Structure 1
């Protein structure tokens, strides 16, 4: 209970902290092109890839696969310059 009170005093909730952490880790994990999306979903605590994909689309406005492709293309362009 003390954790919830502390979070409430700081204007946070457990859900907001969890979501913020997931956002940060999703960026990190998707940057690794060799890590399967199903594994990323599991690492972020989602029970299924479809649940992770819905969450990701809501947060980032694209599917994890599309985000990864765009990130890879952006990363490749920076390496070429």
Structure 2
């Protein structure tokens, strides 16, 4: 299931990097995070919330270094691609 999650996140994030409107960007980003089953959503939400602060600070640093939003989206998604490759 984690591999499916990585693949869907990578696909939807890549599509969102080439969005032509805000609506398309928002829909592709929302679809990439809806892969948690109902029984584990509370735990997953808690873990994600704890890591949110650190991730936001790192994203701000990355955004400072990478000024184009399309390249920034691809750079922020690249850890998923590394995880997919390293799965095997």
Q: TM-score, normalised by structure 1?
A: 0.35
Structure richer in helix, relative to its length: 2
Q: TM-score, normalised by structure 2?
A: 0.33
With a CA cutoff of 8 Å and minimum separation of 6, indicate the structure with the bigger relative contact order. 2
Question: Could you say which structure has the larger radius of gyration?
Answer: 1
